[in-house]
């Protein structure tokens, strides 16, 4: 388990990490830069992410755009356990910098993880 100022990062495999943002956080550009540095120090050049949206948080638009520009991402699975989390994840995935990424939103974490592990 690795900790940044606003979230936890758990290594699930050598090239797969789970990110869980703390409840009530408003993610800004500085936070995205912080998580980029952490991911690049923990993971190889090509990796996948499991975003666990069990907590409610917001992300500023410029931060969403910047996150979508992170180099090395193979796939992103977003676990969205409720309707608000699903709407938020769907919006985030539609941002132009994110739309070039392979992002899927799931309501079941096991199916999300299975999708990430396909063809690794």
What average pLDDT does this structure show over 22-38?
96
* 85 or 20, higher pLDDT: 20
- The boundaries of the domain holding residue 100 are 2-117
- Enter the DSSP assignment of 44: -
Average pLDDT, the chain: 91
CA distance 44 to 112: 21
pLDDT of residue 57: 94
pLDDT of residue 52: 97
pLDDT of residue 93: 77
pLDDT of residue 98: 61
pLDDT of residue 119: 62
- C-alpha closest to that of 112 among 16, 21, 40, 3: 16
pLDDT of residue 99: 59
For the domain that residue 7 is a member of, what is the CATH number? Answer: 3.30.750
- Enter the DSSP assignment of 37: H
CA distance 80 to 96: 21
What average pLDDT does this structure show over 38-42?
95
- CA 106 from centroid of its chain's CA atoms: 13
Q: DSSP states of 51-89 as a string?
A: EE--S--EE-HHHHHHHTT-TTEEEEEEE--SHHHHHHH
What average pLDDT does this structure show over 41-70?
92
Give pLDDT tens digits for 92-120: 877 766 656 788 999 999 999 999 998 65
Total structural domains in the chain?
1
Q: Are 82 and 49 in contact (CB under 8 A)?
A: no
3-state secondary structure (DSSP) of residue 49: strand
Q: DSSP states of 7-30 as a string?
A: EEEEEEETTEEEEEEPTT-EE-HH
What average pLDDT does this structure show over 47-63?
94
């Amino acid at each position: 388990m690795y900790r940044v100022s606003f979230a936890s990062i758990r290594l699930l495999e050598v090239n797969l990490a789970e990110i869980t943002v703390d409840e009530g956080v408003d993610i800004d550009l500085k936070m995205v830069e912080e998580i980029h540095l952490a991911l690049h120090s923990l993971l190889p050049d090509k990796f996948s992410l499991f975003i666990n949206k069990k907590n409610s948080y917001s992300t500023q638009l410029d931060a969403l755009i910047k996150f979508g520009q992170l180099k090395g991402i193979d796939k992103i699975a977003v676990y969205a356990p409720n309707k608000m989390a699903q709407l938020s994840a769907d919006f985030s995935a539609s941002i132009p910098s994110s739309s070039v990424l392979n992002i899927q939103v799931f309501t079941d974490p096991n199916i999300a993880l299975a999708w990430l592990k396909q063809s690794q």
